[in-house]
Amino acid sequence: MQTALDVETRALLAKLLRSERVGALGTLRDGAPLVSMVPFLAEEDFSAFWLHVSRLAWHTQDMLREPRVALSIAQTDDRRTDPYALARVAIRADAAQLPGDSEHAGRLKRAWLARFGQSHIHFELADFSFWRLAPRDARFVAGLGRIHNLSADAVRAAARGPERP
């Protein structure tokens, strides 16, 4: 069952998606799951999550074959006694490569470098490109037992803040 989030929970989700920088990408490889750490950037309105990956990487080869992927974003472990209380969201998404010469790619590159300064080296490598992950749905665990199944619309609603629910 999918639910709408209250103001406080929307703010928690927005904070999680904007403050964390690395996620875990699940792809399909030989019919079984593979999970890889990936830096990511959330689109302002949460309509997409961007990756910048090498076509030499296993997960990129996987996405070329099977666009259905998952991205887990978890609150950084602050060494609290019970890690099950950490906030996390599992997004199921469709992945598509962004053409390198698009206007969008230029804008993204600036946003990416603003977040990951040192990573300009990756833009000098021909095998790196942006991939767009468009959410199909999400499962947000705001803390112990606080589980919310969300539509892609509900994820986008979290980007709009308290004034515009």
List residues binding a second copy (CB under 8 A): 20-22, 24-28, 31-37, 39, 58, 66, 68-72, 74, 76-77, 79-86, 88, 90, 92, 116-119, 121-122, 139, 141
The tokens for 27 are 């792809």
Output 7 or 127, the one with its CB closest to a second copy: 127
Output 117 or 163, the one with its CB closest to a second copy: 117
Q: How far is the CB of 163 from a second copy (least distance, A)?
A: 30
The tokens for 82 are 């019970």
Q: How far is the CB of 31 from a second copy (least distance, A)?
A: 8
Q: How far is the CB of 129 from a second copy (least distance, A)?
A: 15
Pairing of strands 147-151, 128-141: antiparallel
Instruction: State the DSSP string of 84-140.
Output: GGS-EEEEEEEEEEPPTTSHHHHHHHHHHHHHSGGGGGGGGSTTEEEEEEEEEEEEE
